[in-house]
Structure 1
Amino acid sequence: MVARKTAWLWDRFAAVDPGLMRLASAMRAVLGAAASLAVLAALRQSDTDLLVGGFTAMVTSLAISDLHPRNQLITLGLGAPLSLTALTAGAVLTPYPVAARIVFLLLIYVAVHVRRYGPRGQGLGIFGFMAFFLSQFTGARAAQLPQMGAAVLVAFGAVAAVWYGPGFMTGARVLVRLRRTFDGRLRDVLRDMATLLSAGQDDDTVSQSLERRLDRLHTAVLLIEDFLDEHVVDEATDSCLLRHLSRVEVAAQRLAVLTVRAVHTSLAVDDLAGRTARQQLAGRIRLLHHQVALGTAFAPEAQAVAPEAERSIRPGERTPVQDCFQAVDDLAMAVSSLGPGRVSSPTRPGPAPQEPTARRVRAFDVKRYWKADDADRKRGTTRQAVQVTVASALSVFGGHLLSPDHWYWAVAATWVVFINTESTGEVLLQSVRRLAGTVLGVVFGYGLATLVGPDGSLLLALLLVCMFGMFYTPSDAYWAVTFFITGMLSMLLALLDTFSTDVLVLRVQETALGVSCGVLAAVLVLPVTVRRASDEELVDFLLALRRLLHETTRIPGTGTKTSLVRATHDLDQALESFRRACLPLTHPLNLQRGRRDRARHLLELLEAGAYHARSLAAVAGRLPESDGIEYAPRIADAADRVQETVTHLIRVTRHRRGTAPRTARPRVTRALSLLSDEQRMRRGRPSPEQRLLLHIGRLDTTLTALVRAWDPPVPGVGHTVVSSGGGDVSSPPSQATPAADQIPPADTHTHPSVRPCRAGRATGVTEPATSPGRAAC
């Protein structure tokens, strides 16, 4: 019983921290700092040298974000001489404050500019900035450089020993933990689905929880993809694991959509068979949950329950519950093909087909990390370098007026609010988080330091605890990161006997000044609005979607399953970038409710489109090349129509009006509910080719709704009436009916620029669907 509870608690802990990466990072930082302090204390170094060593060890853990151990080692090796150079420059220029501040501003410009070279560039920029900042914080002089340089080298050596010592985390071990995280989040999804079915009605709390579980499952897949992209364990794992993970994720999402649809379907009071089927379905899902927890294959005898349950409902008509039984079987087969959470090659029903262009294990190449990737580095580092430099210059001037001795705190606050931000809204949101975390951290640090008193050992222990909290806190909770940073600073000031209320109040003032200068520079110096940033990210998403459609139309043909996996990964990354760009609009702190609801509605439409795109890739990846030849022209024709919609949406995004017209606030719902409201397949079990046509048609419907929501029509202008929807894939072409309620539109008319039907352009009459799964235009 105790072992079971311990395993359950460990699974919960692993689900919160995927792969235990944050825990490993926090432990590395704390152990590295502790080892540095221990070595320097044994050498009887001064308090200043102890501060330099501990601070450098912390910055080292903060600056290195590469996943590959060799990449980490290279960044570590480049960071040591860079830190020594910046520390030397700061110490030499300390007697000349004007020159020191000018050099600091030049260093800030270069440190921001090199972010275009990816994680290594950003890490080296952090090394240079923090080393110069340290020289100003300690008031270092040239005579102290030998001792301080030795402390820096000791810190780098201690960090390397901790990172690559006995507790070294190999790629296989990290992958095992990431797989366990995926399995744990899959069990959470299954448990919520069973709870929703047992309730018999759509409990809003459970439904929201289910959607959050699906988002976390998707995040786990993205983490594994990112990890394998940089740290390939072996060829079999790299080529097969991602494809099977994607299949399981798509099957789980489909089962969740069908479960919500089944719960939304009302049952008659005397429909005992329907209620029994729901309970049997919940039992099937719990059984699958149990087998995933045990790491066993899905029991074949359990599948015999499904046909009996399906026949006991209504013999002549399929119901949403019967669709769920089929989806459970698909998910069970996907889980069985994935196998238990091991690093070895996933178990498969048969030998994997040879892919002519399958990706091989890459040899490590240093040049790859120094080559700017236009697709990922288009954030405009030169523009942001100018912004940060101007803001830092204002912070230097204003901080000196507040305190000639602590002006660097304002510069540090300005520097931080521009990290991982692009638009003015993101800078503003980051500034609010920074200021809130500082205020709360000052209150916490003051209370804690007052209670502890002059006990140096306890203060040092609390400082390391705050350091652990800073690294373990998720990056999206930046206010909490700042909270622990300020608490750590309070412990440090108490250790240095410079702790006072005035210093903490000055800390808040300098921080407020720094973030204000950052916001001012973001608004006035080469500003980028949230609208512009989100438009650019939407274009990237659409380009990734177009590549995915291109790969899908090559199945059957010369396409490969690996290319589909990579195209799906690129699409997911583009969606996450769009989500981050829209965060200032979708955040609860946004007081403009109309813009907030509209941004959330757009994001929901994109999430629905991404679901259909992932499903499209998953079905196409399992379609044998010898099958579906007769469907190939229809699939290509349907994909061409979606390509036209995507191209038109790119054109609309790049040339839409500067100011959006005032329109009715859209009804904000969740993507899961949006998908569950789509028209279901009424007859039979669709073939893979029919499912391809279904997802292509629904993707086109979603994109058409996205055009209406992204560029709403101007009131009073004539519009072309367009009804979009998806037909029943199992019905003949003549019976395909439009389903205008598939995706809730922003209004009942479309913008004049929306692609009209090929027939009836002048009259606005839509042409009928001519193939299964094709919606009316």
Structure 2
Amino acid sequence: MLKRMFVAPDPERLRLRSALRAVLGIGLAVSLSLLTGHELPAVIAGGLTALLALFTVTDTTVRRQVATTALFPVAGFPVLALATVLHDQPLLRDAAFLAVAGAGVYARRWGPRGHALGTFAFMTYFVAQFLRTVPGQLPGLYAAMALALLASSAVRFGLWCYERRMAPPVPPPPPGGRGLARTSTRQAVQVAVAGGLALGLGQALSQERWYWAVGTVWWIFVNTASRGETLVRGWRRVVGTVTGVAAGLFTAVPLHGEPAPTAVLVAVCVFGVFYTAPLSYSWMMFFVTVMAGLLYGLLGVLDEALLALRVAETLVGAVAVVAAVAVVLPVTTHAATDAWIQRSLLCVRQCTTEASRRLAGDGGADPAPHAAALEALLARVRVSVAPLLHPLNPFTARRERARRIVALLDECAERLRDLTELAADPEASHDARLTDACRRVEAAVAALVTPGAAVAAAGPAVAETPQHPGTERALACLQGLEAALVALAAPLRSSPRAPLASS
């Protein structure tokens, strides 16, 4: 499995670039903290700040990424002060932690910036528990964290800003509904409930490391939008933590906090976190767990019992999540997946329209951004249906239905990729067949996204004298796209529990 992870396709080597840049940015932040005489807790806080700045800031433009990173101190420094002041007041400390967790999730309604700032605020509270900070340490922590932001930003936006030459990723869909109909609101309530349960159970296990259970709850909820996604992520969190602890027994424990080899292994873990995160949450958590063990080794508190406690607190957090998403304002996998599919279909229609205009001679029309957006949306569809495709899912009809939908959407994306390339060919002429084919595609999409609309039927191929080869290939792409859209009607409109008819 590890071999497949490191040989998986990496278009434009984005994962490799991200991982290497993270090692460079975090390494620079830590080095500057050490050179400026900061104590070990401040150095660790600075390194984690740089990691979060490089990992969580995902705005669609470099300008917005810079602005979000600049807002990190505004979101995190007051929270760090609050956690430090409340350190010796358990009831207020715990209540504030849950409030920060809920507010951090609720902030996701404001898109990537809200997500990044909410995550940083939560993690600064978490770091205060991790490092057991006292008010006298705040100036040093603030200075190290600010220095880390400057160092990581110098690498990301100056030395190695590869995003300037790339199309921005697709933005998340606008949150639907108001109040409790909004997913971010529901998840904020779920996190508060699950966090409270995890906090109580975690403190029953340990009065010193209870925050691990709350941290588990938080990170399981990140980038999930349904009950099924959250449950699958919880399982993967446990798997990653258990394997990471096992690895820590053979790496972090024998080192006894030796600075040089620990620093090398931490760099390897940072690379692993960034390189594997887009592909596998379990592997990402494996590297995070090993890195946490190494940091505890630097602090001089690591032993086998501490690693065992880490596993127990993770299990407590995962159980709390399962209880919360099952009974507290659940968001079903079907509802979340359907929303992503509907948006993907609308993107298909937009891409087809732009391609049609381009083929008709409109130089201002460009289907390429829509084709790229569709790829990103389909990646989100795959995440959403992952619980249905999981081998442990006992509902075979739902699994087959989800697999059929994903396969047909992938076929749509492949046809549109080809159509986009053909539309860019200035020699490709336009004729009535292409116009009719584009209209049929738009009608097929309308039939799928409009409630109660009649199911479209694939139109017959029009026999005419062959024209330019590009025109013929474009026509074939449009006809194949229409056929895939028509075939989607069966799995999309059938009951999730009903077996699909043989095709």
Confirm or deny a common fold (TM above 0.5): yes
1:708 deviation in Å? 2.2
Tell me the equivalent position of 2:237.
Answer: 434
| Change beyond 3 A, Cα 1:638–1:114 | same
Tell me the equivalent position of 1:151.
Answer: 144
Give the Cα separation in 1 of the matches to 2:495 and 2:320: 38
The answer for unaligned runs of 5 or more in structure 2 is: 1-5, 177-181, 456-460
Q: Which one has a larger percent helix, Structure 1 or Structure 2?
A: 2
1:560 deviation in Å? 4.2
Tell me the equivalent position of 1:736.
Answer: none
1:685 deviation in Å? 7.5
1:43 deviation in Å? 4.6
Q: How does 1:51-62 map to 2 (within 5 A)?
A: 51-62=44-55
**CA shift digits 1:126-176 (9 cap, x unpaired):** 2111111111222222232223223323323333444456xx02449x74x
Give the Cα separation in 2 of the matches to 1:38 and 1:547: 49
1:703 deviation in Å? 2.3
Tell me the equivalent position of 1:648.
Answer: 447
Give the Cα separation in 2 of the matches to 1:590 and 1:556: 45
Tell me the equivalent position of 2:179.
Answer: none
Give the Cα separation in 1 of the matches to 2:453 and 2:204: 45
The TM-score normalised by the length of structure 2 is: 0.85
Identity of aligned residues (%): 33
Give the Cα separation in 2 of the matches to 1:714 and 1:530: 11
- 1:469 pairs with one of 254, 257, 272: 272
Counterpart amino acid of residue 383 in structure 2: R
Tell me the equivalent position of 1:533.
Answer: 336
| Change beyond 3 A, Cα 1:560–1:518 | farther
The answer for unaligned runs of 5 or more in structure 1 is: 1-12, 176-223, 230-372, 657-678, 717-744, 749-777
| Change beyond 3 A, Cα 1:683–1:746 | farther
| Change beyond 3 A, Cα 1:579–1:682 | farther
Tell me the equivalent position of 1:492.
Answer: 295
| Change beyond 3 A, Cα 1:226–1:101 | same
1:413 deviation in Å? 0.6
| Change beyond 3 A, Cα 1:493–1:552 | closer
Give the Cα separation in 1 of the matches to 2:486 and 2:191: 40
**CA shift digits 1:213-272 (9 cap, x unpaired):** xxxxxxxxxxx5337x9xxxxxxxxxxxxxxxxxxxxxxxxxxxxxxxxxxxxxxxxxxx
Tell me the equivalent position of 2:502.
Answer: 747
Give the Cα separation in 2 of the matches to 1:688 and 1:118: 40
Contact 1:645 1:700 in 2 (8 A): yes
Give the Cα separation in 2 of the matches to 1:31 and 1:376: 34
Give the Cα separation in 2 of the matches to 1:163 and 1:541: 31
Give the Cα separation in 2 of the matches to 1:454 and 1:642: 62
Tell me the equivalent position of 2:43.
Answer: 50
Contact 1:556 1:624 in 2 (8 A): no
- Matching of residue 706 in structure 1 with residue 488 in structure 2: yes
| Change beyond 3 A, Cα 1:431–1:636 | same
**CA shift digits 1:573-597 (9 cap, x unpaired):** 3333322221222244434444323
Contact 1:542 1:646 in 2 (8 A): yes
1:482 deviation in Å? 0.7
| Change beyond 3 A, Cα 1:554–1:62 | closer
Larger Rg: 1
Secondary structure at 1:225 match in 2: coil
**CA shift digits 1:509-565 (9 cap, x unpaired):** 111111221222222222122211221122112222233344455466574453333
- 1:574 pairs with one of 377, 381, 391: 377
Q: How many aligned residue pairs are there?
A: 487
1:504 deviation in Å? 1.0
Secondary structure at 1:463 match in 2: helix
Give the Cα separation in 1 of the matches to 2:410 and 2:257: 54
| Change beyond 3 A, Cα 1:703–1:53 | closer
Contact 1:421 1:427 in 2 (8 A): yes
| Change beyond 3 A, Cα 1:427–1:82 | same
Give the Cα separation in 2 of the matches to 1:36 and 1:92: 26
The TM-score normalised by the length of structure 1 is: 0.57
Give the Cα separation in 1 of the matches to 2:70 and 2:391: 43
- 2:75 pairs with one of 75, 79, 82: 82
**CA shift digits 1:100-136 (9 cap, x unpaired):** 1212222122211222333222211121111111112
Tell me the equivalent position of 1:117.
Answer: 110
Give the Cα separation in 1 of the matches to 2:263 and 2:172: 45
Give the Cα separation in 1 of the matches to 2:475 and 2:47: 60
Contact 1:551 1:559 in 2 (8 A): no
Give the Cα separation in 2 of the matches to 1:682 and 1:600: 37
**CA shift digits 1:726-763 (9 cap, x unpaired):** xxxxxxxxxxxxxxxxxxx9337xxxxxxxxxxxxxxx
Tell me the equivalent position of 2:86.
Answer: 93
Contact 1:460 1:495 in 2 (8 A): no
Root-mean-square deviation (Å): 3.6
| Change beyond 3 A, Cα 1:426–1:713 | closer
Tell me the equivalent position of 2:209.
Answer: 406
- Matching of residue 451 in structure 1 with residue 442 in structure 2: no
Give the Cα separation in 2 of the matches to 1:52 and 1:527: 35
Give the Cα separation in 2 of the matches to 1:644 and 1:532: 24
Q: Which has the higher contact order (CA 8 A, sep 6+)?
A: 2
Give the Cα separation in 1 of the matches to 2:497 and 2:117: 52
- Matching of residue 696 in structure 1 with residue 495 in structure 2: no
| Change beyond 3 A, Cα 1:654–1:466 | farther
- Matching of residue 25 in structure 1 with residue 29 in structure 2: no
Give the Cα separation in 1 of the matches to 2:394 and 2:27: 45
Contact 2:216 2:318 in 1 (8 A): yes
Tell me the equivalent position of 1:225.
Answer: 167
Give the Cα separation in 1 of the matches to 2:363 and 2:65: 32
1:618 deviation in Å? 4.2
Counterpart amino acid of residue 424 in structure 1: R
Counterpart amino acid of residue 697 in structure 1: Q
- Matching of residue 506 in structure 1 with residue 288 in structure 2: no
**CA shift digits 1:660-709 (9 cap, x unpaired):** xxxxxxxxxxxxxxxxxxx9x99978755454444433333322222123
Give the Cα separation in 2 of the matches to 1:482 and 1:15: 18
Give the Cα separation in 2 of the matches to 1:225 and 1:714: 36
Tell me the equivalent position of 1:520.
Answer: 323
1:502 deviation in Å? 1.7
Contact 1:105 1:393 in 2 (8 A): yes
Contact 1:84 1:152 in 2 (8 A): no
Tell me the equivalent position of 1:310.
Answer: none
Give the Cα separation in 1 of the matches to 2:410 and 2:28: 46
Give the Cα separation in 1 of the matches to 2:239 and 2:44: 27
1:466 deviation in Å? 2.0
Give the Cα separation in 2 of the matches to 1:147 and 1:47: 10
| Change beyond 3 A, Cα 1:562–1:569 | farther
Contact 2:239 2:282 in 1 (8 A): yes
Tell me the equivalent position of 1:132.
Answer: 125
Contact 1:66 1:72 in 2 (8 A): yes
| Change beyond 3 A, Cα 1:43–1:655 | farther
